[in-house]
Amino acid sequence: MDVRVLVVGFGHVGRAFARLTALKGSLVERRFGVRVKIVGVVDSRGAALKPEGFSGAELLKVSEVPRSSVCFSEPYGVCGLSLKSLYDSVQPDVHVEVTPSNYVSGEPGLSNVMFALSRGANVVLANKAPLALKFDDIMGSARARGLKVKFRATVMGGSPLIDTVLSLRSHEVKKVYGIFNATTNYILTLMHESLIGLDEALKTAQAMGVAEADPSLDIDGWDAAAKLVILARLLGLKLNISGIARESLSKVTLRDVVEALKRNSVIKHVAGFDALSGEAWVKPETLSSDSVLSKVNGLLNAAVIETDVCDYILIGKGGGPVETAHSLLDDIVSITGGLI
Amino acid sequence: MSSWIVVKIGGSTLSSAGSYFSHAVKIRALIESGVRTFIVLSAMRGVTDSLLKLAWGRLGELEFLRELHYSVALELGGANLASVVDGILGGLGKLASTAPRGPALVDYIVSHGERLSRIFMVKALEAEGVKVLNVNALDIIAVRGDYGDAYIDYRVTFMNLAKVRELAELEKASPVIEGFIGRMSDGSIATLGRGGSDYTATAVASLSSIDRVFMVTDVPGVFSCDPRIVSGVRLVEELSLREAREASLYNVKGLNPKAFTPELLKEDMEIRIGTWSSKGTLVRAGASNGAKLVGYKGPTIALIGEGVQSVKVAVRLLEALDAGGVPVYSLEFTVEKPSISFKVPENLAFKALNIAHKVVVDG
């Protein structure tokens, strides 16, 4: 079965996805009978399109072109096309949305996703903003058209948290909390292990490509809050991003860290919601060093799901490009049903 | 023999756009002769050292790096590629001047020598009409251990390489990958230490069941001793895998210990070291016996060759050293290793090397 995929957004994650498809396409086809054909990749200035699907070598090549330059890649580059023209040209079955998250307007991801659904394409997202802001609209639109929307890459992108939550069909979830932002966890780990201030830890994180040049979405808790909204919506809770109490990590000082360590504790940027009270938060918390979350360091994430049956803990990778790309590919296979 | 060969292009041979084109022409000829190539790239000559200095705050290195890479980029890929290279180097300069220094950052910066070199080689090969698989080492080479001296995770890398080989077979393309670098499990970049590209090359070969490796250098092969110290050195035509391994432990140029770790060296492997035009030194199982070369590690000197680990050779060596007025502090040989090693006073090490080398030359 051939699946025609359009990748919208071609930064680290989009490129990792293209390279992954090149290298693991055959494996996926053998195991699940699904032949993933990337028919177009789109960045902010244009696209590279090949209606019959790029070969593996072509995907590896296009993944190496400079940022915002796919439209100059020969012979498939096209500059300045509208999404409508792109759809007319390549007619994708699956739209992969990996543009940057914008928690004010949701754009460009939100319009892209709604357009994709209007054109009959299933949608796979790594961009959280459209779901965090318009979850019901997106799902409603998909349902009305018999289409699927998958977004495993949006929360703990390198680990199957979304799938785990969705599988708890008969459980009553009481509370979900954890460490959902790899950047702030990396920064806090550096602060505790190297006893450095937040500014210095942030600079190191930026140097290592872990933090963005503008880290405010992570530091101020927007990213973790968006993830909470998505998790809550999966459980049928009407949580809005504006209703989440956010405390920025920026107020945590080296002195706070030292004081916590003296008390055999650590500081973590914890996000969670209580399904019963509707309360939701993202805030720095001082945790005893024998708690599970206190041991989750670096780029790892963790989720604790408390239910009426028992509690579940998932510790795993957050959203590095390679891990996120795997979640995107898994979602595509899942949409198409696969053989298993 | 499989029809595949790993070709590792040494940094000493990469200094200009012309040098990339020159290699591309040779590789194309190899492919046209029916051989499939898997190409491993080093950084251009002098670049790794320069990037290391940059990483440790010597911002003046940027000038050298810019001058070298910009001109190559311009010739290979025009203004677009030159601008990309300029942006990359500018970013590294910014990092080196503002980010807190640490081993991970140093490796991140240093890794760009090989990354740029891959971009250039791909351009040159494409210009020659060679179909390439532009393979990012960070997707394939999984590493563990310490920054600056990481080692390859063979299990994960084996699985990744299988996919590259499959795609290369399917698309009849030549994979091109950077040597020297890999990806840690946390996603960060780590380098493999000196000679890391050789290590990548033998690992790629071994893990991909490719039994031939050609390490292209600027010298015709491995010499019987360091020509800066000993006159009358000669080219070693053949080494056994064990001899190469042993020699790599004694600083013999062209042989790096990690590249010759026993778990990588399969019995049917052949590794040629030399220039495109020279016969080079062939490392393979079943090479002839006898003293072949002399290496050194400080004041410890080793006479290397299958069969030298005998009382007869030890006596001859000791007599020669005694006649030359070189006292020997200790001498060691075991049946397991194809060498005799001995320790001399530091100030007489060069003299001892010359004497030991004469034993090699005289057979």
Give the model's confidence band at B298: pLDDT under 50 very low, under 70 low, under 90 confident, else very high. Answer: confident
Q: Do both B43 and B128 map to the same domain?
A: yes
Is B131–A57 a contact, with Cβ atoms under 8 angstroms apart? yes
Query: Average pLDDT in the A54-67 region?
Result: 92
| Mean predicted confidence (pLDDT) in B53-79 | 94
Partner-chain contact B104 A208, CB within 8 Å: yes
> Looking at the 3D structure of chain A, how many domains does it have?
2
The secondary structure element, H or E, covering residue A271 is strand A265-274
- Amino acid, single-letter form, for residue A108: P
Percentage of residues in chain B having pLDDT higher than 70: 99
Q: Which two tokens stand for residue A239?
A: 């949580």
Who among A19, A61, A66 is closest to B84 (CB)? A66
Residues A148 and A239 in one domain: no
Q: Which residues of A are identified as catalytic?
A: 227
pLDDT in tens, B312-357: 999 999 999 999 999 999 999 998 899 999 999 999 999 999 999 9
Q: What pLDDT shows up at residue B271?
A: 96
A283 and A251 in contact (C-beta within 8 Å)? no
Residues of chain A contacting residue B132, judged by C-beta atoms under 8 Å apart:
57
Q: Chain-wide mean pLDDT for chain A?
A: 93
For B208-247, what is the HEC assignment?
CCCCEEEEECCCCCCECCCCCCCCCCCECCEECHHHHHHH
Pair B337, B195 in one domain:
no
Dump pLDDT digits (tens) for A241-278.
Answer: 999 999 999 999 999 999 999 999 999 999 999 999 99
Are A109 and A101 spatial neighbours (Cβ–Cβ below 8 Å)?
A: yes
pLDDT in tens, A295-323: 999 999 999 999 999 999 999 988 788 99
The parent domain of residue A135 ranges over: 2-158+321-336
In this predicted structure, the answer to whether residue A339 has a pLDDT above a threshold of 70 is: no
Judged against a pLDDT cut of 70, whether residue B31 lies above it is answered with yes
> Domain ends where: B161, B185, B218?
B218
pLDDT 10s digits, A13-27? 999 999 999 999 999
Question: How many domains does chain B fold into?
Answer: 2
When pLDDT is cut at 50, 70 and 90, the band that residue B186 belongs to is confident
CATH code of the domain covering residue B342:
3.30.70.260
Q: What mean pLDDT do residues B276-303 have?
A: 91
DSSP state at residue B99: S
User: How much is the average pLDDT of B149-176?
Assistant: 96
Q: Note whether A302 and A179 are within 8 A (CB).
A: yes
**Helix/strand/coil for B269:** coil
Judge if B21 and B109 occupy the same domain: yes
pLDDT band at B1 (very low <50, low <70, confident <90, very high): very low
Instruction: Find out whether A187 and A249 touch, Cβ atoms under 8 Å.
Output: yes
Spatial contact of B35 and B242, defined as CB atoms under 8 Å apart: no
Pairing of strands A46-49, A35-42: antiparallel
Q: How far is A92 from chain B (nearest CA, A)?
A: 24
A284 and A191 housed in the same domain = yes
pLDDT reported for residue A209:
77
Tell me the angle at which helices B61-98 and B17-32 cross, rounded to the nearest 10 degrees: 90
Task: Give the domain-ending residue among B201, B218, B235.
Answer: B218
Rounded Cα distance between B205 and A127, Å, is 39
CA distance A322 to chain B (A): 8
Domain-located, residue B278 = no
Could you tell me if B88 and B212 lie in one domain? yes
Determine, yes or no, domain membership for B224.
no
Instruction: CATH number of the domain at A326, please.
Output: 3.40.50.720
Sheet holding B339-343, edge to edge: B293-297, B300-304, B339-343, B330-332
Two tokens, residue B287: 């090479």
Under a CB-based contact definition with an 8 Å cutoff, are residues B169 and A28 in contact?
Answer: no
Q: Identify the weakest region by mean pLDDT among B36-50, B130-144, B260-274.
A: B260-274
Task: Tell me whether B95 touches chain A (CB under 8 Å).
Answer: yes
For B262, other C-beta atoms within 10 Å of its C-beta total: 9
Residue B99 within any structural domain of the chain = yes
Are residues B52 and B164 located together in one domain of the fold? yes
pLDDT at A338 > cutoff 70? no
Is the pLDDT assigned to residue A340 strictly greater than 60? Answer: no
Are B299 and B205 in a shared domain?
A: no
Percentage of residues of chain B with pLDDT beyond 90 = 80
Contacts of residue B131, Cβ cutoff 8 Å, sequence gap at least 6: A57, B171, B172, B173, B174
Q: Give the CATH number, domain containing residue A222.
A: 3.30.360.10
So what's the pLDDT on residue A211?
84
**Domain check: are A183 and A246 in the same one?**
yes
- A140 and A14 housed in the same domain: yes
Cβ(A301)–Cβ(A268) below 8 Å: no
Mean residue pLDDT across chain B: 93
Instruction: Express each pLDDT in B73-100 by its tens digit.
Output: 999 999 988 988 998 999 899 888 877 7
Q: How far is CA B206 from CA B94, B155, B164, B176, B337, in A?
A: 39, 12, 14, 16, 23
Q: Are A218 and A171 within one domain? A: yes
| pLDDT at position A141 | 97
Residue B269 located in a structural domain: no
Q: How far apart are CA A9 and CA B259, in angstroms?
A: 40
Rounded CA separation A247/A41 (Å): 37
Residue B316's domain spans which residues? 293-361
Contacts of B150 (CB under 8 A, 6+ apart): B143, B144, B182, B184, B190, B191, B192, B193
Identity of the residue in A20, A22, A203 whose CB atom sits nearest the CB atom of B100: A203
In angstroms, the CA A120 to CA B103 distance is 49
Q: Do A312 and A328 belong together in one domain?
A: no
B132 touches chain A (CB under 8 A): yes
Q: Are A79 and A222 found together in one domain? A: no
Of B158, B186, B218, which closes a domain?
B218
Mean pLDDT of B10-15: 96
CB-CB neighbors (< 8 A) of A298 in chain B: 186
- Percent of residues, chain A, with pLDDT higher than 70: 99
pLDDT digits (tens, 9 = 90+) for B109-162: 999 999 999 999 999 999 999 999 999 999 999 999 999 999 999 999 999 999
Chain A's closest residue to B161, CA to CA, is A23
Order of strands across the sheet that contains B36-41: B132-135, B174-178, B36-41, B4-9, B212-216, B270-274, B281-284, B238-239
Token look-up 């005799």 returns: B340
On whether residue B277 sits in a domain, the answer given is: no
Check if the interface score ipTM surpasses 0.90: no
Phi, psi of A247 (to 5 degrees): -120, 125
Establish if B251 belongs to a structural domain: no
Cβ-contact B67, B205 below 8 angstroms: no
Gap from B84 CA to chain A (nearest CA, Å) = 7
Which residues of chain A does B80 touch, with a Cβ-Cβ cutoff of 8 Å? 66, 69, 72
